[in-house]
C-alpha cells in the first residue's frame, strides 16, 4: 500500500491479533465464498484494532460484542455467511486476555 504507515505491534497486541486472526479473521479472509463486503469489514476491523494498545484492543473486542450499530450488522453478516463471530470466541478470549494479561510486563 502506497503511503500506508505500518505500525509495529507490541508483544501483547500481537498475541491478541494472533488469537483473532486464527479464530475470526483468517477463515474469512482465506475463504473463496466470503463476500467482498465481509472481507472489507474484516480488513477495516483489523486496521482499527491495530490503532490501539492491548487494553484498547480488549475494549474494542468487548464493544463489538455489546453491540454498536456497525458491529451488530457486521456480526449478522458474519453469521449469515456462516463464519465465527467475536461472540463464539468469548470464553477463550476472556481466559487469555484478562487484567492479569494486561499487568504482565
Contact 42, 22 (CB under 8 A): no
Residue 4 within a domain = no
SS3 for 21? helix
Tell whether the model's pLDDT for residue 2 goes beyond 60: no
pLDDT digits (tens, 9 = 90+) for 47-64: 999 999 999 999 999 998
Residue 62 within a domain = yes
Written as nine digits, the cell of 71 is: 458491529
d(CA 51, CA 28): 21
pLDDT digits (tens, 9 = 90+) for 56-99: 999 999 998 888 888 889 999 999 999 999 999 999 999 999 99
Q: How many domains does the chain have?
A: 1
Residue 2 within a domain = no
Tell whether the model's pLDDT for residue 103 goes beyond 60: yes
Q: Quote the pTM value.
A: 0.88
- Domain holding 41, by residue range, is 11-103
Q: How many CB atoms lie within 10 A of CB 54?
A: 20
Amino acid at each position: 500500500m502506497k503511503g500506508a504507515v505500518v505500525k509495529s505491534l507490541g508483544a501483547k497486541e500481537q498475541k491478541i491479533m494472533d488469537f483473532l486472526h486464527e479464530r475470526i479473521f483468517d477463515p474469512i479472509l482465506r475463504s473463496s465464498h466470503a463476500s467482498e463486503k465481509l472481507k472489507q469489514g474484516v480488513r477495516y476491523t483489523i486496521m482499527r484494532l491495530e490503532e490501539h494498545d492491548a487494553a484498547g484492543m480488549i475494549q474494542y473486542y468487548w464493544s463489538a460484542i455489546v453491540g454498536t450499530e456497525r458491529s451488530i450488522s457486521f456480526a449478522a453478516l458474519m453469521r449469515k455467511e456462516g463464519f465465527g463471530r467475536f461472540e463464539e470466541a468469548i470464553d477463550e478470549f476472556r481466559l487469555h486476555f484478562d487484567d492479569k494479561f494486561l499487568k504482565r510486563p
